[in-house]
Amino acid sequence: MKTALTAARLYTPTHAIDSPLVVLEDDRIVAVGPRSSTALPSRARQFDFPGMILAPGFIDIHIHGGAGHDVMERDDRAIAAIERHMLQHGVTSYLPTTVTAPLKRTLTALQHLGRQISNRPSYPERSCPLGIHLEGPFISHTRRGVHPTEHLVEPSVDIFDRFWQASEGAIRMMTIAPELSAAQEVIGYASGLGVRASVGHSDATYDETFAAMAAGASHATHVFNAMRPLNHRDPGILGAVLTEDRISADIIADGLHLAPSIVKLFLAAKGPDRAVLITDAISATGMPDGKYLLGDIEVEVKGARCDSKGKLAGSVLTLDRAVGNVMTFAEWSLQQTLRLVTLNPAHVLGISDQRGMIAAGHIADLVVLTPEGKVVKTIPAGQIT
């Protein structure tokens, strides 16, 4: 059966359409255009959202948990709770993200997540996992953040292959520090399997970062955080990431991880095509203050701040709130900002031909927003409840 959606405006997000009509069939978009020139199929279900904006569903490529649960829990109900919570905030697809843990614990978590992802049905009330983001253990001791130092591991193809096999080939992104021995070899190997290598948690020099890019690294993880600081005579990893057009990058725009002026600086450097917003959200997201887990790491949450032994440990940010923050911090329009949570992360993952846009042939992941960017309804894979 076909479904027709109408609203006041639509952001593809690269283009705006006033008085749009979007036609869905099953889980796909089959037509998009102005109501005046787009045929309404006979007997189609019709849903009108007067005064509202239609946009692509959001994609979060770095999230550890929410609703009191962590993605490394070996419990299907935990994943379901996290996915229901994300959908409330406009996120139709995501990468469940691991954190450094004992090798056996990581392998078990990857096995569980890989099984969750393979042959998965579409749920009308849940966000869809696109693959796994492996954050750690191939990261710097100096810039590890809260990742446990005793479980960090030097990169090796053998260990990565163990992770890959455990996940049943579901790893889609890997954060890695370029300066570590064999990092370039692992980046090249993982890239050959279709894994996006992202530089981060790193004390790399400018040249080491460029060497990682030459090996296949194409993205950077939560820029400025857990990275060698920028110096005007020693630009380091930040100098490379902020000035090189070959690499995209993401930030945590919660007002705590980065000052608003640095968010504005980052967006000016990476521009509208290569900047991505992530949440780095942990299990405490959507929950009251208290003590929660990030993997096996205990985190104390007070308000918007997540702390472990005096260090920031993820966030309780939601992606819709990140959109609103960027609109405030950088004075970007809603249409500009939507690219950072839709088309741009889809480009990072190499799936912009399927997700991240409202276009014929794409998966029917959509979100209904107020003109201010508040989520009214989320539509995953064409399923309207």
- Give the pair of three-digit tokens for residue 310: 């005096």
Quote the CA–CA distance of 170 and 129 in Å, as a whole number. Answer: 10
Angle at 160 between CA 69 and CA 192, to 5 degrees: 110
Do residues 158 and 379 make contact, with C-beta atoms less than 8 angstroms apart?
no
Q: Which of 70, 203, 250, 280 is catalytic?
A: 280
What letter would DSSP give residue 57? P
Output the CA torsion sign for 152, 297, 58, 370. negative
Residue corresponding to tokens 């993880």: 221
Task: Name beta bridge partners: 290.
Answer: 301
Quote the CA–CA distance of 253 and 267 in Å, as a whole number. Answer: 11
SS3 track for 298-333:
EEEEECCEEEECCEECCECCCHHHHHHHHHHHCCCC
Angle at 226 between CA 222 and CA 227, to 5 degrees: 90
280 is catalytic: yes
Q: Going by C-beta distance under 8 Å and a sequence separation of 6 or more, which residues neighbour residue 309?
A: 146
Q: How far apart are the first and last CA of the chain?
A: 15
What is the amino acid identity at position 297?
A: I
329-336, long-range: CB within 8 Å, 24+ apart, which pairs? 329/253, 329/255, 329/260, 329/261, 329/263, 329/264, 330/260, 330/263, 330/264, 330/267, 332/267, 334/11, 334/53, 334/369, 334/371, 334/372, 334/373, 335/11, 335/13, 335/16, 336/272
Residue positions annotated with a catalytic role:
280
